[in-house]
Amino acid sequence: MADIIQLLPDHVANQIAAGEVVQRPASVVKELLENSIDAGANTIKLIIKEAGKTLIQVIDNGKGMSVTDARLSFERHATSKIKSAEDLFNLNTKGFRGEALASIAAIAHVELKTKQEADDIGTQIKIEGSEVVSQDPVVIPKGTSIAVKNLFYNIPARRNFLKSNTVELRHIIDEFHRVTLAHPSISFSMHHNGSELFNLPESNNRQRIVNTFGGKTNEKLVPVEEVTEVLKISGFVGKPEFARKTRGEQFFFVNNRFIKSSYLNHAINAAFEGLLRDNTHASYFLYLEVDPQTIDINIHPTKTEIKFDDEHTLYAILRSAVKHSLGQFNIAPILDFERDSNLDTPYNYQGKSAHTPHVEVDRGFNPFVDEKPKSTVASSSMSFKKEPVASWESLYVGLESKGNEVSGNFSEVQFETDEMTSSMFDEEETKKIQKTFQLHNKYIVNTIKSGMLVIDQNRAHQRVLYEDFLQQITVKEAVSQQLLFPLELKFSNTEVVIIKELQSQLEQTGFVFSKLDNEAIEVSGIPVSVKESNINAILEQIISDVENDVPDNNHFSQSDLLAKSLAKSLAIKNGNRLTIPEQEHLVNSLFACKEPSISPTNRTTFITMKVNDIDKKFN
């Protein structure tokens, strides 16, 4: 039998390895930024076009590479950070796989320009699909510039699996945040399609957080500091009143490397126990420092998960440190959990002794004696003058005669009674028999000929609103109500980018934006069916849905996603009591829809219970 096992060609092996390293444009951004940090750069610039599908370029002022190193950097298993197996357990750098650049060069057009400070000229290398096209000298300043163009050009199937530009850009920004927040001493900038999204100067941790997520973030932060033999903690947690429905602003950094840890996240939730609203998540930016030999960062290809030697100790220290910070800054009580802050002594009265109140009483006052004008010290000290009233005996004058008059004339007494009718309902009332009932403020029960319908009021209202908003966005323009005073809302740069992309569809539903810049949104008009107090929550829900959903590139899917998000935000919540006319209107509106049986998220809106099924229950 012929041999069937053979060695793969290098370019095929590189493409297979690229599937592990490069999953989407954000993976390339992460690898290139980390390489620039390891090169000792203090200024890094990221340039993106078409959400990284067309161009990803990173320019730094690091130490650069020699001619030989520039060529070897694209070979598999070539690295400057590992010399023995023991080095894997004492890593203080970022990229160490030795496969990143080789994998990227296998699936894209790569152009590298690099120069060391001691060299007069630099080196330029062009690679297409793992093949070196050219290597020439070039005049550039110290540092490295690497451009990755046409990602997945030779793997069409992988390119087709990429999501819309909005989703891919969001993943790139997430990776950009994870790198920039871990290194506040480095200046970063990011440009997308010619416009600047971020310009982060050299700063400290707090300033980097504020510069990244907007000036409003500063008031939300509560510092956390703790130093032990096992763990050193620094950073910030968000105040409970600013908790959001999304987990976007949750960052753990271990030895300046971003990680994900559901176990440590649970420690944060335990520290916030009893302080957060339902279905909300606290934000945190925590920097942990541990001995590199006590962790293993090789358990995940992207190095976002870490295994700790003693997780239980870290859990206890982290929970206690966060809980102590919340109590120290009066976010939560430390010892007296029943303390009422309204009963605290004001600052103006602290240290003052209590004064016994002095009350003057007219000891000669007798309520059963006719009052005569007196000139006493008490009367002169009082600020009011008692009006003379009739003696108390006059209250009973004529009472006996009135009583006798009433008791002797019972014929004039009238009694109110209900009018007796021959039927339980008159002809008008029988026409208005109630057909709908609300069960547990959650379900609407409606009678039909064959039995009854049980309708989920939240899902039913979502379906009604969804079709209404979708029609407004795609067919007709909605009516907008102008606000007397424009409403100013603050969002981060990335959130504003999402709102800008959805601006035309939002305006079709009735929103009017008078201002839309990097950190603030000014709303001057809202849809008729929306309350002004709900605007911030609605926009947050829309942003969350866009970030977490996976819409396609066409315009209709964005409109569909927006209609779903608005319907979810404005639908009647379970627990709200509805009047009978409201119940009937909701039922009629539901069955006027094109798809009344399912909600916008493909969940059942009502069930039918026939009389025969009910009869069987009594057999």
Could you read off the pLDDT of 462-489 as tens digits, one per residue? 999 998 888 877 776 667 888 888 888 8
Lowest mean pLDDT among 142-156, 246-260, 351-365: 351-365
State the number of CA atoms in the 13 A half-sphere of 7 facing the CB: 3
Q: What is the pLDDT of residue 449?
A: 83
Q: What is the pLDDT of residue 209?
A: 92
Lowest mean pLDDT among 87-91, 260-264, 491-495: 87-91
What CATH number does the domain containing 292 carry? Answer: 3.30.230.10
pTM of the model: 0.67
Whether residue 251 lies inside any domain: the answer is: yes
Domains identified in the chain, total number: 3
Q: What is the mean pLDDT of residues 155-167?
A: 83
Whether residue 384 lies inside any domain: the answer is: no
Share of the chain above pLDDT 70, in %: 76
Q: Are residues 153 and 183 in the same domain?
A: yes
Q: What is the pLDDT of residues 336-385, one digit of tens each?
A: 445 556 666 666 666 777 778 788 888 888 878 765 555 544 444 455 55
Q: What is the pLDDT of residues 416-444, one digit of tens each?
A: 555 555 444 445 544 556 678 888 889 99
Mean pLDDT taken over the chain: 80
Asked whether the predicted pLDDT for residue 214 surpasses 70, the reply is yes
Tokens of 229: 């033999």
Q: What is the pLDDT of residue 605?
A: 93
Q: Are residues 262 and 184 in the same domain?
A: no
Q: Are residues 470 and 555 in the same domain?
A: yes
What CATH number does the domain containing 181 carry? Answer: 3.30.565.10
Q: Are strands 451-456 and 606-610 parallel, antiparallel or unpaired?
A: antiparallel
Q: Are residues 166 and 227 in the same domain?
A: no
pLDDT band at 112 (very low <50, low <70, confident <90, very high): very high
Tokens of 548: 């977490």
**Cα distances (angstroms) measured from residue 413 to each of 38, 135, 400, 406, 407:** 101, 116, 19, 9, 10
Whether residue 519 lies inside any domain: the answer is: yes
Q: Are residues 180 and 292 in the same domain?
A: no
> Alpha-carbon dihedral of residues 569, 572, 576, 577, nearest 10 degrees?
160
Whether residue 424 lies inside any domain: the answer is: no
Q: Could you tell me which of 244, 228, 179, 189 has the C-alpha nearest to residue 48? A: 189
List 330's β-bridge partners, or say none.
none
Sort residue 426 into left (φ over 0), alpha (ψ -120 to 50) or beta: beta
Q: What is the pLDDT of residue 23?
A: 83
Whether residue 400 lies inside any domain: the answer is: no
Q: Rounded to an integer, what distance in angstroms lies between the CA atom of residue 223 and that of residue 228?
A: 17
Q: Are residues 193 and 222 in the same domain?
A: no
Whether residue 33 lies inside any domain: the answer is: yes
Q: Are residues 74 and 37 in the same domain?
A: yes
pLDDT band at 127 (very low <50, low <70, confident <90, very high): very high
Residue corresponding to tokens 């199937």: 157
Asked whether the predicted pLDDT for residue 513 surpasses 60, the reply is yes
Q: What is the pLDDT of residues 552-598, one digit of tens each?
A: 444 446 678 788 888 888 889 888 889 988 998 999 999 999 999 99
- Structural domain of 156: 10-200
Q: What is the pLDDT of residues 14-34, one digit of tens each?
A: 666 655 678 889 999 999 999
